[in-house]
Each structure stands twice: as structure tokens, then as C-alpha cells.
């Protein structure tokens, strides 16, 4: 099967703001990725604990361990580590960036199975990494994500938000019971949509439901190893994980070549011919 972007995929991305490739990565890949995901989570958990201990001993700034709208974040291991919403939770929700924490993922970002179709999305032979994050979504405690676009979050530091395609890679079989990814087809066409005016700090980053038709949502009920490529303007979210299964997923965001990364110094360019 060709890795090149198909005409149908290009048309769907333009019309609906996303396209899907199922089972791109096989069992051997998934064993490696899942093991690496758990190593990353352990490293982030250890770094966050060290940071909290240092703060308690007045050896680090309070700003390294903070809460926004009641949710805990820790700046540790050169990453932002977000914990689950329960006040006493020690479960990690999201780590961004994360690929630098494990060599498997550091190499993964240049896998041709990702780079070739993303080059097609951007009509270029080369792309650069913008940011990378991993969602752990643990059984019974993995919380949901409210409807949002990624572009408003990045707009204060990026002038090309319409050229930031995301690719989500599922590490586990995903369905509605374990809180699969969902999105609103066509919601990318109007660019930045209004946020919530609910008095919270993060409210403006969540999309006002009056701006789209929630009944049109598409559920990413796809097998492990699948790709969902979607625009930074596409409204998306997920429900909590109500199952006894993990629903881990990686989201990598690419951009035109030679542009610097979001949360890390430098530029990481990749060629479809590498």
C-alpha cells in the first residue's frame, strides 16, 4: 500500500477536516509503543514527584506545580505533566511534549508512515515537528476532554495555525466505552470559533457548542495502530474512560519545514525521501 496521500483522503481532509487510516501499525509496533508509553509515564511521574518534593523543601518555584481551574499541572522532565481531575489523583492524564523521554518515540516522529501522508497534507516534501503529547486515559479514571479546537491554544505563539495538521495514533482499540476520540466533521471551515465565556481561566479555549452541530459528531472507533489525521481547527474531544481497558493515544502535530517547535528549542525537519 502506498504511503502517499490518496485523492480521497485529500478531499475528505478539505471537506470534513480529517481522514482515517486503520491499522497502520501492527502488533510488533504496538508492543514497542505501549512499553515505551509506560516508561514515559513512569519517568514523568518520578520527575513530578521530585519536583513536588523540591517545592516542599523550598528548592523549586511554586510555579512548577500549579493548578488551573482546579486541575493540577507540574512542569517536570522538560514537559508539562497534567494529572487527572480528581483532587487527590496521582494518575497522569497528559504529557506534552513527551517524545524526548524515550528513544522509541524520539525516532517514531520521523516514521515514513507518518511523514509521507503529512507531507501530502501540507503539499511539501518536508515537514517539521510542532509539538507532541500522549494521553494515558486509564481505565475507569481517564477523564474526558471538552469540545475544543487546538488552534486557539497555539494562536498566541504561531502565525500559521491553518498549517498544523495533527495525527492521532491509537495505542489501544478505541470505542465509545473507553472514551474514544470524537470530532465534528466540517467544523474546521470557519477557522477560529468562539470559546466559552464561563468565568474560568480555560473556558475561552473550549469551543462554544452554539458554534457547531454536536449531533454530527464522528466517533473514532478504530483498532489499535490506526491514524486519525485532523486539522488544528477541527472541533474535537472525548468522553471519560468507563471501561476496564486503557485508551492510550499519541497526538503528533506537524507544520511547514524550518519552523521552530512549540515547547522545545530548535527545529526538527523530516523529509518524505529519508
Secondary structure of residue 212 in the 3-state scheme: coil
Secondary structure of residue 219 in the 3-state scheme: strand
pLDDT > 90: percent of the chain: 92
For residue 241, pLDDT beyond 90: yes
CA distances from 205 to 54, 130, 197, 271 (A): 31, 19, 10, 33
Residue 57 pLDDT: 82
Residue 61 pLDDT: 76
pLDDT digits (tens, 9 = 90+) for 213-234: 999 999 999 999 999 999 999 9
How crowded is residue 170: how many other Cβ atoms within 10 Å of its Cβ? 26
For residue 145, pLDDT beyond 80: yes
DSSP string spanning 133-196?
Answer: EEE---TTT---EEEE-SHHHHTTT-S-GGG--EEEEESS---TTTT-EEE-TTTTTT-SPPB-
pLDDT > 70: percent of the chain: 100
For 24-38, 46-60, 163-177, 191-205, which range has the lowest pLDDT when averaged over its residues? 46-60
Residue 5 pLDDT: 98
Instruction: Give the chain's mean pLDDT.
Output: 96
Domain positions in the chain:
7-27+97-271
- Whole-number Å distance between alpha carbons of 228 and 83: 25
Cell of 63: 510555579
pLDDT digits (tens, 9 = 90+) for 74-97: 999 999 999 998 777 889 999 999
Residue 62 pLDDT: 74
pLDDT digits (tens, 9 = 90+) for 247-266: 999 999 999 999 999 999 99
Closest CA to 151 of 259, 263, 239, 236: 236
Question: Is the CATH number 3.20.20.30 carried by domain 7-27+97-271?
Answer: no
pLDDT digits (tens, 9 = 90+) for 11-67: 999 999 999 999 999 999 999 999 999 999 999 999 999 988 888 887 777 789 999
For residue 227, the surrounding DSSP H or E stretch is: strand 227-230
Residue 150 pLDDT: 98
For residue 269, pLDDT beyond 80: yes
The neighbouring-strand residues paired with 76 are 79
The pLDDT confidence band at residue 274, using thresholds 50, 70 and 90, is confident
Mean pLDDT of 194-203: 95
Secondary structure of residue 54 in the 3-state scheme: helix
Amino acid at each position: 500500500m502506498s504511503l502517499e496521500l490518496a485523492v480521497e483522503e485529500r478531499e475528505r481532509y478539505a471537506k470534513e477536516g480529517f481522514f482515517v487510516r486503520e491499522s497502520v501499525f501492527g502488533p510488533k509496533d504496538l508492543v514497542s509503543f505501549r512499553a515505551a508509553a509506560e516508561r514515559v509515564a513512569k519517568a514523568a511521574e518520578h520527575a513530578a514527584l521530585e519536583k513536588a518534593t523540591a517545592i516542599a523543601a523550598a528548592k523549586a518555584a511554586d510555579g512548577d506545580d500549579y493548578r488551573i481551574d482546579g486541575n493540577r499541572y507540574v512542569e517536570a522532565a522538560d514537559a508539562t505533566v497534567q494529572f487527572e481531575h480528581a483532587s487527590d489523583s496521582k494518575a497522569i492524564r497528559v504529557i506534552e511534549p513527551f517524545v524526548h523521554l524515550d528513544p522509541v518515540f524520539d525516532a517514531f516522529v520521523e516514521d515514513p508512515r507518518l511523514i509521507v501522508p503529512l507531507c501530502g497534507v501540507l503539499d511539501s516534501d518536508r515537514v517539521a515537528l510542532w509539538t507532541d503529547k500522549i494521553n494515558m486515559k486509564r481505565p475507569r479514571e481517564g477523564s474526558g476532554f471538552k469540545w475544543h479546537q487546538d488552534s486557539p491554544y497555539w494562536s498566541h505563539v504561531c502565525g500559521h495555525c491553518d498549517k498544523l495538521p495533527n495525527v492521532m495514533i491509537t495505542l489501544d482499540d478505541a470505542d465509545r466505552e473507553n472514551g474514544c476520540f470524537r470530532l465534528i466533521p466540517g467544523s474546521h471551515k470557519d477557522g477560529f470559533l468562539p470559546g466559552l465565556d464561563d468565568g474560568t481561566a480555560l473556558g475561552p479555549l473550549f469551543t462554544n457548542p452554539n458554534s457547531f452541530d454536536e449531533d454530527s459528531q464522528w466517533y473514532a472507533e478504530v483498532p489499535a495502530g490506526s491514524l486519525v489525521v485532523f486539522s488544528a481547527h477541527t472541533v474535537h474531544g472525548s468522553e471519560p474512560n468507563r471501561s476496564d481497558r486503557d485508551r492510550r493515544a499519541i497526538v503528533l502535530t506537524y507544520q511547514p519545514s524550518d519552523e521552530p517547535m512549540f515547547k522545545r528549542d530548535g527545529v526538527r525537519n523530516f523529509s518524505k525521501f529519508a
